[in-house]
Amino acid sequence: MIRSASGRQVLLLHPDTAFQERVRSSLPEGFGCWTLPDWQALRETARDASPSTVAIVDPLFGGDDPAAAGELRDFLSRYSWLPVVAVVRAGPDTLDFLRALGRWGVSEVIVEGVEDTPAGIVKAIRFAQGKLLQGLMEEVLPSYLPGRVRRLLFAAAEAVSAGGHSPDLAAILGVTETTVIRRCERLRLPPPRRVLAWMRVLLAARLLEDEGRTSQAVAYACGYATEAGLRRVVQNFLGLGITELRRRGALRTATATFLAEL
């Protein structure tokens, strides 16, 4: 798997070389951009993609009508955790097509000739990043948590998708790293580094729910260099091995331990 130094990547599946160049020239510093030749290459690359990866695709790549979007639908069903930005052409059936893309799980849309500017591309990537973890927070956080706690945890989920380090969390909150530490103390939360580590553990648990996904693939997707790194973290945080965690229900078990620590 090819990786950028920061782990932030764009996987690009689009036939227009001018659009490809526009995407590459629009990306902020620290992003890698890999142009892929077909859907099979996208699937193979997505297996080990980090949580900060975004795919930008032409839904009709390889075909000329909406029926060709079956490749995209299949990809979204198999890699539902990877945010996808669809590039669509404006036309009489665009609205119905956009509704279908939303039902399938597309995170964001770029309409050609309207939003395919450098600013529009960056905006779509930013909004798409973190959709999985943001959705996961909606699913697992109980309603009784105070709003300030929820906001910090949602920011931590976004930070993991943006790079996963304390400076990323501070930047999202618009404060210094020292302020984040103090805020966690006031809210009786673990230190920022541990909160961010928990986000990765919860992401790993979510991915481990898929029996067809190997622990090595989960490790890479969560930003760990090796499978052993994931196993150590899971053991340290949950006191379980990967096999036992899966047997007990990975997400349910991880969520219960996470909420108990909060």
Per-position DSSP letters for 159-174, written without gaps between them: HHHHT-SHHHHHHHHT
Task: State yes or no: pLDDT of 177 exceeds 90.
Answer: yes
Task: State yes or no: pLDDT of 9 exceeds 90.
Answer: no
pLDDT for residue 4: 41
pLDDT for residue 163: 67
Q: Which of 199, 27, 43 is nearest to 123 (CA)?
A: 27
Q: What is the pLDDT of residues 69-112, one digit of tens each?
A: 889 999 998 887 788 999 998 887 788 888 888 888 898 999 99
Percent of the chain with pLDDT over 90: 51
- Answer with the residue of higher pLDDT: 50 or 96: 96
> What's the CA gap between 170 and 174, in Å, rounded?
6
Q: What is the pLDDT of residues 187-229, one digit of tens each?
A: 999 999 999 999 989 989 988 887 777 888 888 777 787 899 9
pLDDT for residue 207: 85
Task: State yes or no: pLDDT of 257 exceeds 80.
Answer: yes
Confidence of residue 184 (pLDDT cuts 50, 70, 90): very high
pLDDT for residue 65: 61
Percent of the chain with pLDDT over 70: 94
Q: Which of 55, 259, 262, 50 is nearest to 164 (CA)?
A: 50
Token representation of residue 122 = 């960056």
- 52, 164 contact by CB (below 8 A): yes
- Answer with the residue of higher pLDDT: 133 or 176: 176
**pTM (predicted TM-score):** 0.72
> What's the CA gap between 111 and 91, in Å, rounded?
10
pLDDT for residue 6: 47
Query: Which amino acid type is present at position 85?
Result: V
Task: State yes or no: pLDDT of 3 exceeds 60.
Answer: no
Q: What is the DSSP-derived secondary structure letter of residue 90?
A: -
Query: Which residue reads 């629009």 in tokens?
Result: 26
Token representation of residue 214 = 């190997």
Q: What is the pLDDT of residues 98-151, one digit of tens each?
A: 888 888 889 899 999 888 999 999 888 888 876 777 888 888 899 899 999 999
Token representation of residue 125 = 């990537």
- Answer with the residue of higher pLDDT: 173 or 64: 173
Name the 3-class secondary structure at 113: coil
**161, exposed or middle or buried, with CB in 10 Å at 0-12, 13-18, 19+?**
buried
- 31, 40 contact by CB (below 8 A): no
